[in-house]
Amino acid sequence: MDATILNALRDPAGVPFYPVVFQALYILTWALHAAFVLLSLGAMGLSLYGATKQRNDANWKILTPHLIQTGKLSVSLLIVLGVAPLLFTQVIYDPNWYVTNTLSGIWVFAFIYALIVGYVMYYWYYYANKAGKASSPLIGFVSFAILVFCGAIMHNFAVESIQPTKWMEWYAPNGVIDMSGLNFHYDIIRLAFMVSLAIPVVGIFLQNYSDFLSSRKDFSASYIAFTKNLGTKMGMIGLVISAVLFAVWMLRDGLLFNPLVIATVLSVVLLLWMVSRSDRNSYMTTGVLVVVALLISAVREYIKYSLMTGIGYDIYNYPVNLEIPSIVMFLLTFVFLGFTGVAFIAAMAWQVGKNEGLVYDCDKNPALRKLGFSTLWILMVWMAVYFAWGMFTLFKNTL
């Protein structure tokens, strides 16, 4: 295949900054998206098991609603964090993204509705479990299946976008144009690997959960030990399953001895060792998990980048039309509003979790109070600058 047409289809305005920066941001933000995809699927999946055990088991009675809550919050985070890689991939790989949306138009629409139905059902599951309804595992299972289906649709886009040589065959099989938008293509090993990662992710989360709660007096030592052991088992078994699937995937694609893949395998081995040492501080394990997630994200991008350069579409040759004001606005937002806001929410969540009473009063913590007010002030200044700048640009260009 010759990429002349793809190169001609690139945005004539070019990209506003160096493509490598968008590529790095794509890798970073997809890893964040994946982290919450895996935590939500893992926590929800485990909660389904817990929902069947909680009647007769005191530990599962405490853990199950906590898992449901974790999954519920993670779905909202995975949606928010999915937008960023979507935007970055559209900037540098726009022909790929739009072709897949044309080939699979029905699935693009289905995705949105499936996500809405799946997430609404998740809330139904949450309330049904809270009310002790016997139907809650069934409702939860349907919601879980719909959310996994959403992941399969996303996987379809990812798989289609890295096979440009097949696009014509899919668009017009035997020369007859197929306008149905029903194209659905999958790579079962890659999908199984992605979904299997939910097991070690929830395992490591449980280790963190156990360490976090160990300082609270209202959770018994036996519950802390139960969650730690469960986390360690799930982390170790899950990592072995994922590592085997990853190796099969890489072997099939001839990438097993690629330096990036070797680095990923080595970091997984390190992670496995850290997970097995359950007496150690598990927050360090999460740090290594972050590195592994970034490496997996980089491997995905490496596969796409090398396939596309192979046919003559190189993102590094994308015309650059430096747009400094937009970049400055983006970076200032990212650093000041983003870092302060996330620091406040994370610190607040930490303190609330450590609090043993029903109400946590942030006003009694001067540092946190200051951080909260700083976030509000930065947000207000940001909104004023954002709209003023927008109006200025609009009128400068039109009047």
CA angle in degrees (0–180, nearest 5) for 114-117-121: 135
Where b means 16+ CB within 10 Å and e means fewer, 302-327 reads ebbbebbeeeebebeebeeeeeeeee
Where b means 16+ CB within 10 Å and e means fewer, 160-191 reads bbbebeebeebeeeeeeeeeeeebebebebbb
Cβ 51 vs Cβ 64: under 8 Å = yes
Binding footprint of ligand HEM on the chain (CB under 6 A): 30, 33, 37, 78-79, 82-83, 85-86, 89, 115, 147, 150-151, 154-155, 157-158, 161, 190, 194, 300
Q: How far is the CB of 160 from ligand HEM (least distance, A)?
A: 8
Distance CA 132, CA 110 (A): 32
Q: How far is the CB of 234 from ligand HEM (least distance, A)?
A: 19
Q: How far is the CB of 30 from ligand HEM (least distance, A)?
A: 6
Toward ligand HEM, which CB reaches closer, 198 or 274? 198
Toward ligand HEM, which CB reaches closer, 89 or 278? 89
Q: How far is the CB of 170 from ligand HEM (least distance, A)?
A: 16
Instruction: Tell me the residue nearest to ligand HEM as measured from the CB.
Output: 82
Q: How far is the CB of 147 from ligand HEM (least distance, A)?
A: 4
- Residue 273 CB coordination number (10 Å): 13
Distance of CA 325 to the CA centre of its chain: 29
Q: How far is the CB of 33 from ligand HEM (least distance, A)?
A: 6
- Amino acid (1-letter code) at residue 92: I
Distance CA 161, CA 308 (A): 10
Toward ligand HEM, which CB reaches closer, 157 or 205? 157
Q: How far is the CB of 111 from ligand HEM (least distance, A)?
A: 8
Toward ligand HEM, which CB reaches closer, 35 or 271? 35
Toward ligand HEM, which CB reaches closer, 91 or 271? 91
Cα distances (angstroms) measured from residue 143 to each of 22, 129, 136, 151: 34, 13, 11, 13
Q: How far is the CB of 268 from ligand HEM (least distance, A)?
A: 17
Reduced to 3 states (helix: H, G, I; strand: E, B; else coil), residue 316 is helix
Structure tokens, 246? 């990853």
Q: How far is the CB of 175 from ligand HEM (least distance, A)?
A: 28
Toward ligand HEM, which CB reaches closer, 68 or 274? 68
The DSSP secondary-structure symbol of 172 reads S
Structure tokens, 163? 């096979």
Distance CA 293, CA 264 (A): 9
Distance CA 210, CA 283 (A): 11
Write out the DSSP string of 103-158: HTHHHHHHHHHHHHHHHHHHHHHHHHHHTT-TTHHHHHHHHHHHHHHHHHHHHHHH
Toward ligand HEM, which CB reaches closer, 85 or 140? 85
Toward ligand HEM, which CB reaches closer, 198 or 271? 198
Q: What ranges in the chain are assigned the alpha helix state H?
A: 4-8, 19-53, 58-92, 94-103, 105-130, 136-161, 167-171, 188-196, 198-213, 221-252, 259-276, 282-310, 324-332, 339-354, 366-398
- Amino acid (1-letter code) at residue 202: V
Q: How far is the CB of 148 from ligand HEM (least distance, A)?
A: 6
Toward ligand HEM, which CB reaches closer, 48 or 194? 194
Toward ligand HEM, which CB reaches closer, 181 or 336? 181
Toward ligand HEM, which CB reaches closer, 89 or 340? 89
Q: How far is the CB of 107 from ligand HEM (least distance, A)?
A: 13
